[in-house]
Each structure stands twice: as C-alpha cells, then as structure tokens.
Amino acid sequence: MSPRQARLTVAAAVLGTIVVFVDSTVVNVALPSIRDDLGGGLAGQQWLNDAYLLTLGALLLLGGSLGDLHGRKRLFVIGLVGFGVTSLLCAAAPTIETLIVGRGLQGIAGALLVPNTLGLIVAKFPRNERGAAIGTWTAWTGIAMVAGPLVGGLILDAASWRWIFAINVVPVAAALWIVRQVDSEHDVPTPGRIDYVGAALGTLGLGGPVFALIEQPLRGWGDPLILATLLGGLALLAAFVAYERRASHPMLPLELFRERNFAVGNAATLAVYGGLGAAPFFLVIFLQQVSGYSALEAGLAMLPVTLLMFALSKRFGALADRVGPRVFMATGPLIGGAGFALLARMDASGDYLADVLPGVLVFGLGLSLTVAPLTATVLGGVEERHAGMASAINNAVARIGGLLAVAAVGAVVSAAFAASLEDRVAGLDLPPEAQAFAEEAESRALTTTAPASLGSSRAAVAEALDDSSVEAFRLAMLITGGLVALGGVLSAVGIRNPRREVHCADCEPGPSVTAIAPPAERQPA
C-alpha cells in the first residue's frame, strides 16, 4: 500500500471514530440545557444517554459482522452518512421524545461505523504496519474523549445545545471526502451469515430492563407496563443466551466464556465501566444543576482523569508485564472506587479544588492502574484465533455496563431524592402552593430551582431541594464507587496471570477497550 493510501485510511478511520466517541461524552454537558428547553427531567436526561448507548453497545458485534460480509469501506460509508443524517435530526428535534429517538438512531449508525474503522485499518495495512496505525487511531480516540466535554462546554457557552449535534456534519463530510479516495484493495468481503435473530433478542432484551429502570420512578413498580418490560426483557435475554448456544453463526460465541480469565475479565469490565459510565453522568448534572457550574466548567471537571491515563497507563502496563496484571486489576479498581467515594463528601457548593479534584485524581490513578492490564488479560484469556472477537465482546460489555449503570443508579437517585424531599417538606409549615410545588418537584431529581412565585416560602423550599439533591448525589457516588471497587474484588478472586503473553504496555490508554491490535496481528516486541 502506498504511503498516501495509508495516510488516507488512518485519517478517515480517525475522523469516523471521533464523531462517535465525542457524542458519547459531549451530550452529558448539554443535558441541563436540553432539559430547560425541552423538559423531560432526570428520566429524559437518562434516556438521552441510554438510547445512544443501548443501540451502540447492543449492535457493535452486528456492525462488525456486516462489515466482514459486505466490505468494511462500504459499511464505514453507510455509518458515516447515517451518523450525519441522525445528528441533523437530533439538532432539529422539537421535543424530548424525538431527540431520544434521534439519539437511538445515532447509536445504530455508530454501531455500523466504529467496528469498521478498525476493520478498515486491519484490512488495508500489512501486519508489520498495523500496530503503528492502530496506535494512532487509539491516541486520537483518547483525544476525542477529552475534547467532547470541552467542545460541548464551549458551544453551549456561545450558542444553543443544538449545535453540539449539528457540528457533527463537519467531520462526517471530511471523512466522506477522504474515504472516497481510499481504494478497496484488500477489503474483500468474507462469505458468511449474519445473526439477525441474536441481534434482535439482545437489543430488545437489554431495552426492556433499561426502560423499566428509567420509567419506574414516574410510574411505580406496580405499573403493568413497567412489569411487562422488565420481565419481558429478562425473558428475551434468557432466550438470547439459549439461541446463541445453538446458533450456527452466533453473534456472541458463548464458548469463549469458558475461559476463566475471559469470563472474569469481562465481569470486571462490566462493573468498572458501569461505574465509569454512571458517575460522570451524575457528576456533570449535579455540578450544573445544583452547584451552579457553567457547561464549560462542568466539562473540564473530569479532564485530570484522561491526563493521568495518558501519562501513567503505559508505565503501569510495562510494570504489569513484569509482575503480572492480577495485582493491578485488583488494586486499581479499589483505588478508583475510593475516588468516587471521596466525591460523596461534596455539598451543594461543589468547590472544585476542595471537593471535586481530590476524588477525580484518586479515581484517575486507579483507572490508570487498571485499563491496560484489564485489556491484556481479556485478550490473553482466549486462543489467538479468537482475539478479534474477544476484543469486540469486551468493548460491547463496557458500553452495556455504562448503559445499565446509568439506568439502575438513576432509579435509586430518583427514589432517594423523592423520599428525602418528602421528609424535609413534611417538617415545614408551607402554604398550599408551595406544598404543591414540592410534591411536583419530587419527580425531578437533582433540580434545585424554586420559583419566585413561592414568596416567603421560596428559601425554605430551595434549601430542601438542595439538601435532597446532595443526599441523592452522595448515594450515587457511593454506589458507582462500589461498582468500580467490585471489579477489583472480582479480579482479586478470579484472575490468574495469563498463560499467553499479551504485553500490557502495548495496550494504549483510552476510552475504548478494543483499541489494540489482536495479538496474532502484532509483531514481536
């Protein structure tokens, strides 16, 4: 392959990946502004995050399979066009419901796009050049995760939240222009069949419990719709497992989970990335809606985590190569969980240096200890011929962990906020209009605005809202910290140092646990 074709391939893959990863973080900064404009409360904010993660996480394996069958470049282009169109739909959404639908469609386009960015590199580059190309891809995806909140904050400070979606057309158009100049040499479709039944069962099975957890605070557990979606979703997940066990071309090869390190490593991934997905979601909302941070200030809050990962992950990975990854996978999540527990000290003022930064730094240190050894252990736990699929599964598990955690922790936060506010208001002598407002506010967790129309009762109601929000937020941080720490406990009990060597130091830090070349594709170090 010519140097020009190499540059074009990497540039197209990087641009295509950036838009997907930026959109997984940028929307968190915009959630308060979207709520103010379109309504929806905490449930609407959760759906804006989870609709995207649900379709993205559930369909990643299907997107990769379609690329193998029809050509990575073709699916890459389809994903790009789809992401650009759905981004414009999101930008023009007139209601919270249509925006949620748009986010789900964005996730579908992202599921076609992401696996085929890396697949395009693998198809185009010879084995002795893939490591460097994938390293470049990885570095830029990490930068995208940093840039998401920052770009979102800058846009929101200068313009409408709608521009965080509309601006996607710029990198999408650039990627389309570049990929048109990439030839299709070596991108040969592979004969096979697609597991559409498995994809449908998995997506609907995940969607049922997520819907029930998000909507339960508004409808109650006794609502027939909540019970039907919860039980129906669990039944579909059971059917998914049963179907995948006997499918001739399964989307999820269950036999891989017979390997101890692969199974335990993915369980740890589910816990760690569950906490990692949920904690920033609630932190950014709390900082803006309770502590009064601007969108840009809230977007900068977690920046030290990414900086620490880029500075330390490779060093810890090299050390783990010498002593084995098990001790890092055990201690890293425990330290990371302690960082979220430190954030539980925060009050309504949310002072950054005193309350936010210490917890963020401790969490960043723990995550830096964890990421590279975790990825290497999952890949090292299976035979080399399954390394690519193992990487894809681990990425899907990470996305699903965040999806389920945001939904589940959101249900707990809503319940805690409502109970706390009810108790606090009961001790106040409020006039009927203030009492009615407080009762209505119970369904809008982490909201502290009390209207001037409440008159002399406004200060008391605002204080009750603040105190209830702080109590609910602290519970969220303790739960997410416990989730991350659980990943360390699982690793300490279940992980064995891999029998097949996969260098931890080669596992680049970054948001995507798939961002390394399969071991069979690497050159010896």
Domain boundary assignment for the chain: 1-184, 196-250, 256-407+476-515
CATH 2.120.10.30 for domain 1-184, yes or no, is no
* Residue 31 CB contacts under 8 Å (≥ 6 apart), including other chains: 45, 48, 49, 284, 285, 288
Asked if domains 1-184 and 256-407+476-515 share a fold, the reply is yes
pLDDT of residue 517: 31
Q: Tell me the residue type at 200.
A: A
Residue 385 exposed, middle or buried by CB count within 10 Å (0-12, 13-18, 19+): exposed
What are 367's two structure tokens? 């995550």
Chunk the chain into consecutive blocks of 10 residues (it has 525) and report each block's average pLDDT, rounded to whole numbers. Answer: 74 82 79 86 82 82 78 86 95 94 93 78 66 60 63 81 90 89 68 80 86 80 89 92 86 85 91 89 90 86 81 78 86 95 92 94 90 75 63 78 87 91 86 86 79 85 91 95 96 79 55 35 33
DSSP state of 446: T
pLDDT of residue 84: 94
pLDDT of residue 354: 93
pLDDT of residue 525: 32
pTM comes to 0.79
**Helices and strands of the chain, counted as H and E runs:** 17, 0
Ordered DSSP codes for 119-166: HHHHHHS-HHHHHHHHHHHHHHHHHHHHHHHHHHHHHHHHS-TTHHHH
pLDDT of residue 523: 34
Helix (H, G, I), strand (E, B) or coil at 375: helix
Distance of CA 129 to the CA centre of its chain: 30
User: Which CATH class name applies to 256-407+476-515?
Assistant: mainly alpha
pLDDT of residue 514: 35
* Residue 495 CB contacts under 8 Å (≥ 6 apart), including other chains: 261, 264, 265, 268, 325, 326, 329, 330, 377
DSSP state of 496: -
Of the candidates 31, 105, 33, 120, which has an alpha carbon nearest to the alpha carbon of residue 74?
Answer: 120
d(CA 189, CA 72): 8
